[in-house]
Each structure stands twice: as C-alpha cells, then as structure tokens.
Amino acid sequence: MAPTKKSDSLNKKSLSIDRSIRDEAKRKPREFQALVLGSESRLDILAAAKLKGGKSYTSDELNSYKRLVIKILTECARAIVQEIRRLKIDPEAKYFWRYVELIDGYCNGLELSTKTYWELDPAFVNALESILQNPRVSGLLEPSGESALPSSAEYFFAEISRISSFDYMPTEMDIIQATSSSTGIYDTRLRVNDLSIHLFDIGGLSGKIKKWIHHFDAAKFIIFVVDLDQYNQGSRMAENMRLFETMVNSKWFIKGSIILLLNKTATCRNKLQTSPLADYFLDYTGGRDIRKAADYILGRFYNLNREGVPVYPCVAENSDVSTLGCVLATMKEALLNEYLRDTTRIF
C-alpha cells in the first residue's frame, strides 16, 4: 500500500519528535548525587562548589542566615556553659564564674525574648572570649574532650570577633556551618559541562548513620575527605576511619564509587618535620617524606574496603578551588571507567 499524505505527515512528526528528544538529551546534563563526608575541610570544598555554581544570595537571605548564625553561636555558648557547670571547672575562680553567669543570663534572655536579635552584646562577647582562654574549656572543643558540643562550636567560637562586628554579614562558610549545624544537611548544586552534580554534606548526621543511610542509596559517589594534617590527632583520624569503614562496606552503596580525597598535604608536610608520623602509627617506616606518609594513610583506608567498592584517590594541597578541580577530575575518571566496564559487558 502506497503511503498516504496523512501517514507521511505522521512519520515526519514522529521523526521530528525523535530528533527533539535526542537534542534535549544532548542539552540536558547527566544528573547524579554525591555525598560529602569526613574531615572539616570538606566544607571548604562545598564553599568552592557554591561559588563555582554562581548563585548569589539576596539581601533578605543573608539577613536570615545572619540571624541563624547568631542563634547557633549563642546555642554553642549555652552548651559550653552547661559543660562547665557539669564538670565544675575552676570552682574557686570568681571572675571566671562571673563570666559564666553573664553568658548564661544572656542566652536565657534571648530564649525568652520575642524580638529577633541581630547583634551580639559586647559584654557577652567579652565574657565568651575570656572563658575560652581557660585550657580546660578550650579542651572541650576537641573530639577527644570531656563533652560532645555541637560540631560547629569550634568554628563559630574562633570567628566570634568577626561575627560580632556591627557590619557583619555571613560568608559562604558561615552559611554552610550554620545550615549543617541546624539541619544536619547542607546541599548545593554544581554543573560542569554535561554533568549536573547535587552535593550533600551530611557530616551533621554522621553520628546517626543507621537512621539516615538508606535515604541516600541513589548517591553515585561518596566524596570522603581526610585532612592529612590530623594524623597526630588520634581521635579525629580514628573517627574518620570508622566512618569510612561503615560507608565503604554498606549494602546501600555497593553500586557506587568513593573518591578518597587526601587533603592539606602542604600543612602535613610541614608538620612531619617536627612531629614524626611513626610516633602515632608504629608500623610506619617512611620517615618525613610526604608522599610516603600519604601512601601509608591511603593504605590504611584501602584496607577497610572489604566489599571491593571502587575507590579513587585524590591528593590535594589545600582546601580551595584547585581542590574542587581535583575532585571533579577524579569524578570524571570514575565515570569513564564505569562507561568502559559497561561497554565491555556488552561485547
């Protein structure tokens, strides 16, 4: 039967639709999720990703984040005062305890107030800075300390002078720390050529892995950050190793890949000159060579991978845009390897 004008028209329309679908597929980037876990410098990478994404905040959004930052800082102050009372630190130091009472009263007043607070009282700031000079108080901020303060406490206490200034506006890092502290999750999107990456920082949930892990089973990558300069802070490195072991052997991620980022090699190189790695890892024999030290720590993490999940190492100098570039390049390598594996299976 000869084709009719109507069938010709339908065929042309069908071909046009097929062409549109192909064109759209070319334009539409491949989308996937990546979880970001590990050491604190992971937040610097997220900040770099946010800047690369090019999205800026409105004035209203910045003011909203300003209120959130101040709220969280005062919550951290209240938490450290509660620990000081519980541990009865320096009970005979009258000036010290006057500062404690002042901080406590200020935080209680904010909690009872119906007003939105925008600025920190100078007396509160002075009192907080004063008690933080006490070695036992500052020791509470260490992971191996006697308490479990909010994870963002160390960051916000270090930045209190800047945050309390009259013209303060939150930086990208302030926003990441505040959001992660308040919800446990911070996310940002990044588009690189034909890739659309949805990054989730879930460091605020790392203590509740069994409760949340299945919610992210669609994640294609885990970007696991290890700050090499923490090798002499046993509790932090051990905590990272425990978390990595849990994630790399989880049934929820057996189809994914892990980018293992060894960060802060420059700082680690300097520290090795005065603080030998062998003092903390007795089987290490590589001396002060940063490459041997990095290979050793990398091997310690590799040995935790019992499920044979693909792990791609990435070694970087500092936490900045170049580090993000290292991560993205490694991510592309992993995607290429996956494509080659799939192609091999076909043939």
Please tell me the total number of residues recorded for the chain in this structure: 347
Q: Starting from the edge strand earliest in sequence, which strands make up the sheet with 221-227, in order?
A: 186-192, 195-201, 30-38, 221-227, 257-263, 311-315
DSSP-H helix ranges across 113-226? 122-131, 135-139, 153-158, 160-163, 172-183, 209-212
Q: What are φ and ψ of residue 191, in 5° steps? A: -115, 125
Q: At 246, which amino acid appears?
A: T
Buried/exposed code over 255-279 (b: 16+ C-beta within 10 A; e: otherwise): ebbbbbbbbbbebbbebbeeebbee
Whole-angstrom distance, CA of residue 100 vs CA of residue 257: 48
Closest CA to 236 of 270, 217, 264: 264
Is 182 annotated among the ligand-binding residues? yes
Q: Which amino acid is at 96?
A: F
Q: Which residues are annotated as a binding site for Mg(2+)?
A: 182
- Positions at the binding site: 182
